[in-house]
Structure 1
Amino acid sequence: MLRLGRGTKITLSVIAALVLISTYVPLMVIVLNSFNASRVAGWPVSEFSLEWWGKALGNPAVHAAVFHSVVVALCATAIALLLGTLASFALQRFRFFGRDVVNLLIILPITLPGIVTGVALSNTFYSVLDPIGIQVGYAGMIIAHATFCVVMVFNNVIARLRRMNPNLEEASMDLGAGIGQTFRLVTFPQFRSAFIAGGLLAFALSFDEVVVTIFTAPPGIETLPLWIMNQMARPNEANQVNVVATLIILLSLIPVYFSQKASEKAVP
């Protein structure tokens, strides 16, 4: 058993404390400024008010941005769940020429800088497809998000498939169950938690994506991250952004919590 010296423990504790402080203190500043009565965000907050909460919650632009973010994230997650799961089964259960190359190509989008992916997709949509009469529009933004969301599902599901016992599926089919029934009653329950965890992570990743969205969003369409970025250029509206950011912080706890629970269940 590894034992750490007193000095090492103190050093690690200090580093951990500094990391936690640098992470969560800025978040607390955002939350407190959402109640700032001043028109300009600042610190310390001298007077508290719910004025900015009322303005943000009643702002049609915020409603539209949330709607677009949710729609894009849901559609991208649905595509990712389908393609990521199919790819996981194909690469785990079958051996074929170019298997390692396919595995690399699936994972590559998440390793590339977002700006590279955004520029590549933008050039494809507007310089290649548009001239031949194919206008992707809103669907293009969904496809762009799905390219990196697939990786989240793929990594979760294939990791679980590698730990599954194939004898259970063989026993099910030996007892007369068909492929569909075996998948529904034996296979899917074994990787269901990883499937859900991948979906939640994919949704969270898509919901707050900004770089790829800048290059692929149709004119006049703003997702919530784009709206926040545009509003930050207006200092007098900063506290409205703080309200929206506070809501995102609170709502983000939900998928992260359930994703962790699902991941824990995925461990045999």
Structure 2
Amino acid sequence: MRLSRTARILLRSAAALGLAVIYLPLLLVLVDSVNADRSFGWPPGGVTGRWWADAWHSAGARSALWVSVRAGLGATAVALVLGTLVAFAVQRYAFFGRQTLSFVVVLPIALPGVVTGIALNSAFRSVLPPLGLGFGLLTVIIGHATFCVVIVFNNVVARLRRVSGSYEEAAMDLGAGPFQAFRDVTWPLVRSAVAVGGLLAFALSFDEIVVTTFTAGAGVQTLPVWIFGNLARPQQAPVVNVVAAVLVLLSVIPVYAAQRLSGDTAAGGRI
């Protein structure tokens, strides 16, 4: 379809406006992290690395970063196992309730975070005390895993739909057992989708705040929760901007890696 010159200009303008709305606030966070003026007046009164040094020496920020990394890795590990297994079950086997299972797995990503958080909070308060457990890092990981599973599931299912089951059948006809067929044939075809799902799941977990608020204990504070808790403290404002800038930069890495991996696979991994 060919567009007129006016239509192309309007579409490009709309795209530029949309990107500006998304990325200009992020750019302002990066600028404020090196702004010498504590009040963050505009234009910046100068450039300084003092706030970055203060953030580096902030025990609370470093502790929160480590908690976020552990929670993200734990949720990603759970999502990789459950999401991949459910994807294979739904896509490779026919059984009663298959579509219902697929719907139930995908539903958490569509629910508001506050609804998921309240539901998990109520469930944990009912289940954990009899077991002698309380809110902590484990409950945060479980909470994050509920929506991270969806990311892995969707990526693996999408790949399996493009991979015919006849490849595995051919391998077994040639004498390979089920495990060998999976290892030598199926896994090489889906592993990039699993990796992309894991990267995106980690990025989603790393930035999560709403579900974390309802599932974390008093002594557990992830980086987004730490930022939110220090926003109202004027003396912490410069450090908060630095931590927010770091959070943005760290979130870009897995998303960029997933995008490159998806692009490389699409370009050179077609069957």
TM-score band, normalised by shorter chain: over 0.9
Q: Which amino acid aligns with 2:177?
A: G
User: 8 Å contact 1:85–1:153 — kept in the other structure?
Assistant: yes
1:246 aligns with 2:245: yes
Deviation per residue, 1:227-246 (Å, 9 max, x gap): 00011111231111111122
Which residue number corresponds to residue 130 of structure 2? 132
SS of 1:95's equivalent?
A: coil
Q: Distance in 1 between matches of 2:70 and 2:166?
A: 40
Q: Which amino acid aligns with 2:22?
A: T
Which residue number corresponds to residue 88 of structure 2? 89
User: 8 Å contact 2:79–2:149 — kept in the other structure?
Assistant: yes
Q: Which amino acid aligns with 1:172?
A: A
Using the size of structure 2 for normalisation, the TM-score is 0.94
Q: Distance in 2 between matches of 1:151 and 1:217?
A: 21
Q: Which amino acid aligns with 1:92?
A: Q
Per-residue deviation, 1:172: 1.4
Judging changes above 3 Å, is the alpha-carbon distance between structure 1 residues 104 and 134 closer, same or farther for their aligned structure 2 residues? farther
Per-residue deviation, 1:147: 0.5
SS of 2:199's equivalent?
A: helix
Q: Distance in 2 between matches of 1:131 and 1:27?
A: 42
User: 8 Å contact 1:41–1:238 — kept in the other structure?
Assistant: no
Per-residue deviation, 1:9: 1.0
Per-residue deviation, 1:18: 1.0
Per-residue deviation, 1:188: 0.5
Q: Which 5+ residue runs of structure 2 have no aligned equivalent? A: none
Deviation per residue, 1:46-93 (Å, 9 max, x gap): 122111010001111111100100000000000000000000010011
Greater mean deviation of Cα atoms: 167-176 or 258-267: 258-267
Q: What is the number of equivalent residue pairs in this alignment?
A: 266
Q: Distance in 2 between matches of 1:84 and 1:133?
A: 27
SS of 1:162's equivalent?
A: helix
Which residue number corresponds to residue 141 of structure 1? 140
Moved over 4 A (4+): none
Deviation per residue, 1:146-174 (Å, 9 max, x gap): 00000000000001001102222122112
Which residue number corresponds to residue 105 of structure 1? 104
User: 8 Å contact 1:193–1:262 — kept in the other structure?
Assistant: yes
Deviation per residue, 1:227-267 (Å, 9 max, x gap): 00011111231111111122222222221121012222443
User: 8 Å contact 1:156–1:194 — kept in the other structure?
Assistant: yes
Q: Which amino acid aligns with 2:154?
A: N
Per-residue deviation, 1:130: 4.1
Q: Distance in 1 between matches of 2:190 and 2:68?
A: 28
SS of 2:162's equivalent?
A: coil
Per-residue deviation, 1:13: 1.3
Which residue number corresponds to residue 193 of structure 1? 192
User: 8 Å contact 1:109–1:148 — kept in the other structure?
Assistant: yes
RMSD, aligned α-carbons: 1.3
Instruction: Within 5 Å, give how 1:229-240 maps onto structure 2.
Output: 229-240=228-239
User: 8 Å contact 1:34–1:239 — kept in the other structure?
Assistant: yes
Per-residue deviation, 1:145: 0.5
Q: Distance in 2 between matches of 1:204 and 1:156?
A: 15
Deviation per residue, 1:77-129 (Å, 9 max, x gap): 00000000000010011111111111110001000000000000001111x12
User: 8 Å contact 1:84–1:153 — kept in the other structure?
Assistant: yes
Which residue number corresponds to residue 6 of structure 1? 5
Q: Which 5+ residue runs of structure 1 have no aligned equivalent? A: none
Greater mean deviation of Cα atoms: 207-216 or 258-267: 258-267
Identity %: 51
